[in-house]
Amino acid sequence: MYFIFLGTDNPDCFELRRDTKIRHSAYLDAATGLVSVLMSGPTMDSEGREAGSVMILDAPDRESVAAFFETEPYHLAGLYGATEVLIWNWKRGNPYL
């Protein structure tokens, strides 16, 4: 099952994002359990600064996604002001079909 994670950073958290980025990237790269990170990248604000996150995940259920984010470094650091997890029916461009 595929999921989209959308995270929006709290205001004025550019330094927090920068200081946590290496741990965040390592966490996503090491995901080998129930959740696989298929694609990820930052959203940008109007000035070209990173302001949030988008991830495409493969997981058996929403509970597995929630457990994955309990220990995700950006989440632990309090970077996100808002998050959303959507079930996604990935059709066009899906190399796994």
Please check the confidence at residue 60 and state whether its pLDDT lies above 90: yes
Copy the structure tokens of residue 45.
């604000």
Task: Tell me the per-residue pLDDT of 4-17, one tens digit each, with 9 for 90 and over.
Answer: 999 999 999 999 99
| Beta strand 2-9 pairing with 36-44 | unpaired
Among 15, 4, 11, 87, residue whose Cα is nearest residue 53: 4
Task: Tell me the per-residue pLDDT of 21-55, one tens digit each, with 9 for 90 and over.
Answer: 999 999 999 988 899 999 999 999 999 999 999 99
Point out which residues pair with 40 in neighbouring strands.
Answer: 55
